[in-house]
Chains A and B, each alone.
Chain A
Amino acid sequence: MKIREVADIVQGVVLSADDMLDHEVEYAFASDLMSDVLTIPTEKLVLITGLSNIQTVRTAEMADVQCVVVVRNKKVTNEMVELANENHIVIIECSSSMFKTSGLLYQSGIKPIY
């Protein structure tokens, strides 16, 4: 699935890295624990999280995560957007809960890791 389709499915707003919207993603992982995200070797991964701070973007950078969906209208700062643009990471802000966002993406064919 293309990242732009992820944004449509979760009815989210794309905040960074528009140039990456046609990149493919296949799996998703939902967590607020960045150490947990750093244990995942999987590629083409969407991170669904309620944690919105600069370390969320740093973690995505280190873990080669191309798309981060920030749920429940958590505020994404300009600093986060800037860092995400530098690293070609798409941040999508959406208003749904982590549970609903995960459900919508799962229903649309995005696979779990475990």
Chain B
Amino acid sequence: MQLEYSIEGGDFSHAGFASSQVKRVLKQLNVDPKLIKRVVVCLYEAEVNVVAHAYSGIIHVLINTNEIVMKLVDKGPGIPDISLAMQKGYSTASDKVREMGFGAGMGLPNIQHNADDFKISSNVGEGTNLEITIKL
């Protein structure tokens, strides 16, 4: 099964909508709730990152019998130093993002912690790609 969602940069009122939809689908498929939580925590953190930092983005979710693969492709400023961005506590988030309860430099490390496989690549001035895999 394949799902696709668009994300608008800066639109905090809809941040989490895609993650919520994916959670519903996984519940309907009777996936273990602990696995669902790992999936949606990863996806929600990644979705919030796109809203917080990029201009727009697309989420592709591929659900098959042995794994769930989530790809997030955004158009945005990109990340100049990925190893720095992966450090707990490092963040370039705006005050608005912090007012929403995010922007403490915990998102990417938390995605890595919950994922079985996590790939991140970025081109400055173009955007960032994430690929998050969780095994079922």
Contacts and interface: CB of A to CB of B under 8 A. Distances in A.
Interface in B86-126: 99-104, 106-107, 110, 113
A32 interface: yes
Q: Is the interface of B mostly helix, strand, loop or mixed?
A: helix
Contacts of B106: 33, 35-36, 38-39
Nearest to A36: B106
Given A35-B106, A38-B110, A53-B99, 8 more contacts: A33-B104, A35-B104, A41-B37, A53-B100, A55-B48, A62-B16, A62-B40, A64-B37
B3 to A, nearest CB: 16
Q: Is the interface of A mostly helix, strand, loop or mixed?
A: helix
Contacts of A38: 41, 44-45, 106, 110
Contacts of B71: none
A37 B37 CA distance: 12
A62 B63 CA distance: 18
What class of interface size applies to chain A in its complex with B? 20 to 34
B19 interface: yes
Interface in A40-65: 41, 51, 53-56, 58-59, 61-64
A40 to B, nearest CB: 10
